[in-house]
Structure 1
Amino acid sequence: MIVAGCISGTSIDGIDVAVGEFGGAADGRLTLRALGARTFSWSAQVRRDLLELLPPATTTVEQICRLDVLTGREIAAAVSRAIDEFAGGAADFVVSHGQTVFHWVADGRSQGGLQLGQPAAIVERTGLPVVSDVRSRDIAAGGQGAPLAGTLDVLLLHGMTPVIPRALLNLGGIANVTLSDGPLAFDTGPANCLIDATIAAATGGKQLYDESGRLAASGKVDRRLLTHLLSEPYYRLPPPKSTGRELFSGDYVPSGTGLSLPDLVATLTELTAITVAEALRPHGVREVYASGGGVHNPILTARLQHHLGTTGLLTSDRFGLPVDAKEGYLMGLIGYLTWHGIPGVLAGASGTLTGADHARVLGRISPGDAPLRLPDPGVRPVALRVVD
């Protein structure tokens, strides 16, 4: 089946669309042929409005309604173009994660979340069925609803030899890891979100991220601020756990530090490197495969390698999944499982990878223009292989 998966991460830096051909639901030995992927930019106004919506900002129901529709239209346009470009205009269905604007965590448990991006707009533009709202069922079942990347990661890890402790790492707005030990999957804390927000605020939106790590490279880490930031209790919580911009917002970094922008960015970059490495250290990981926008920041990856010591730092390209496309293919996989009635979260060290007692089929399906016909249910997946 040809599936278009799309997601916009917590950095809100674009709509990632990945088109792939999935198979293997009948015997659990899944295959993915990656047809192509691309990141489409949000319009300047919608991106601005989305950033202004995020905590600790306040908003209105009108603004949420408008953005739900506008983001849905922009996602629809991106998906339509990607299907034309990579699949000759023909796909079986679309999986749309949407844009997370709130991840509700109370007393260490996810209670709910809100993703914008009206799926009806995607159906109307493409005529295809759309799987959306992929986190809510897991949260309702007692899971964190995140990181869903654990499903793809564990299936990839199952096919790797020799068997050694490995981890897959995503450096998006928030950093998340999946460990073969357990297995476990959880958010470690901030990756790029604090860096991006700090730069955008300091430059009045003229610069949105630390391109090639230039600011961090020209700055000096402030140890006093770093110690303060590392005192956040979240880092010491046991997995499964998840977080977002609700915690790691601009308010997390004290105002009036007196630091220059390069020094502040260098300190926040060091924070990400340390917290990721510390999260991995207890598990004796020997190889880490990274993806996400943070991979393009050579200062961040250099500092992470420093703190990982002898642990190898590689990228998801080794699996045949480009670093900027892995989450798009993840959405395609989640939707493929949903389409075949297969739970979208795998077993982990504590119930499921997300902490739910039992895995659930994820998401909801909006029918397309043709009659909706679902296949016979598949079986629990055991591995995923990326094929040519």
Structure 2
Amino acid sequence: MTQVIGLISGTSVDGIDAALVDISGTGFDLQVELVAGATYPYQDDLRERILAVCAGEAISMTELAELDDAIAIAFAQAAQNIQSDRQPATLIGSHGQTVYHRPPHSQGLDKTQFLGYTLQLGRGAVIAQFTSITTVSNFRVADIAAGGQGAPLVPPVDAALFSHPQEARCIQNIGGIGNLTYLPPRRDHWLEKIRGWDTGPGNSLLDLAVNYLTNGTKTYDENGSWAASGTPCHALVEHWLQQEYFHLPPPKSTGRELFGVDYLQECIKDAESYQLNSADLLATLTELTAASIVHNYRTFLPEMPQKVFLCGGGSHNLYLKNRLQQLLETVPVLTTDEVGFSADFKEAIAFAVLAYWRQLDFPGNLPTVTGASQRVLLGEINFRQ
């Protein structure tokens, strides 16, 4: 049994999710138990700096280095706090904080643009030094170097934790960005049939809209209650669904670079002619998240799943969950809590598993998901000096 800490802050930049996990086994035959999970919010000024960089604000190299260090220290403190008085973990898997993600370009003659580019701040070497625990970080770059999207990386872990011998399942994460893992029944050649990609906006537009509509006094719509009091404009949703990303075939990935502040402003401008109030706008943006997820299922999956399991912050949005259930009709929409894995900390658990795999020299990506040319080891191992 190996005790591992998984750390991640997603595109919503809410804070650092930390999971202390006991792991044993090899390959996809793992036993994983969550010992403790907690979310540690960023300090307000640090969160504002991160969001500014994510929105494209220019900073100097000195400021970039300082931001990288500040995020790493925040991650290291989260790792220390999650252990509390327990026996120290022997390994940390840290995703870091994504501040830029550019998927690979597959067309055109400019080969310098063929590979994708991704940047996660909060370098593992600082975390390892601060905590005295071996830290695996920078997981995405190896997949990108192999021609992949570098995202999503969680589907192989979902395969180990959630696959079922008879059921086809979708694990739907709803963070700032939504992403899915399609798991066929766990039978012969099942790994070759696993699929996964980013479906589009999750909470990103909703959180930005709440911040905009409340002049910064609120950051999210708790339980989706504000949106639930409005009426979605379906004509507007249909217009937004014409966005090119929704029609790109997988593998594909996206982020705030597309579904961020500028996109929200376009949505608000589009909504002006419909004279929507604030609740109607939130209901319509929520409908876009739900409809884009279902559009991805119906358009790109080899078959509809028999069950859908939600995780991430969006799993708490009861209005969004209800809209997904309505659109998916007879397909049950559940959460990963109902199969034994915390919906809040499932992504952090995944990076603990990816670090565990890296220590065992077990490849952590799936080419059928990311489009990489081959399976590769993910993550750089940082030892305390």
- TM-score normalized by structure 1? 0.89
Q: What letter corresponds to residue 123 of structure 2 in structure 1?
A: Q
8 Å contact 1:75–1:122 — kept in the other structure? yes
Partner of 2:246: 235
Partner of 1:144: 149
Matched, 1:155 2:160: yes
8 Å contact 1:352–1:359 — kept in the other structure? no
Q: What letter corresponds to residue 47 of structure 1 in structure 2?
A: R
Matched, 1:105 2:110: no
1:59 CA drift (Å): 3.4
Partner of 1:90: 88
Matched, 1:178 2:181: yes
8 Å contact 1:56–1:249 — kept in the other structure? no
Alignment of 1:287-306 (within 5 A): 287-306=307-326
* 3-state SS of 2:239 partner: helix
8 Å contact 1:103–1:110 — kept in the other structure? no
8 Å contact 1:110–1:145 — kept in the other structure? no
Alignment of 1:2-17 (within 5 A): 2-17=3-18
* 3-state SS of 1:242 partner: coil
8 Å contact 1:110–1:242 — kept in the other structure? no
1:56 CA drift (Å): 4.2
Gaps of at least 5 residues in structure 2 are 107-113, 185-192
Partner of 2:47: 47
8 Å contact 1:144–1:354 — kept in the other structure? yes
Higher relative contact order (CA 8 A, sep 6+): 1
8 Å contact 1:122–1:130 — kept in the other structure? yes
Partner of 1:223: 234
Partner of 1:278: 295
1:155 CA drift (Å): 1.7
Q: What letter corresponds to residue 283 of structure 2 in structure 1?
A: A
* 3-state SS of 2:20 partner: strand
Aligned residues: 360
Matched, 1:214 2:253: no
Partner of 2:190: none
1:278 CA drift (Å): 1.7
Partner of 2:187: none
1:98 CA drift (Å): 0.5
Fraction of identical pairs, as percent: 38
Matched, 1:135 2:140: yes
* Aligned mates of 2:358, 2:138 — CA distance in 1: 11
* 3-state SS of 2:103 partner: strand
8 Å contact 1:132–1:365 — kept in the other structure? yes
1:197 CA drift (Å): 1.1
Partner of 1:34: 34
Q: What letter corresponds to residue 82 of structure 1 in structure 2?
A: I
Cα deviations by residue, 1:216-238 (Å, 9 ceiling, x for unpaired): 01222123432221110111111
8 Å contact 1:137–1:363 — kept in the other structure? yes
* Aligned mates of 1:278, 1:92 — CA distance in 2: 42
1:62 CA drift (Å): 3.0
Partner of 2:205: 194
RMSD of aligned Cα (Å): 1.7
8 Å contact 2:198–2:252 — kept in the other structure? yes
8 Å contact 2:28–2:160 — kept in the other structure? no
* Aligned mates of 1:263, 1:60 — CA distance in 2: 40
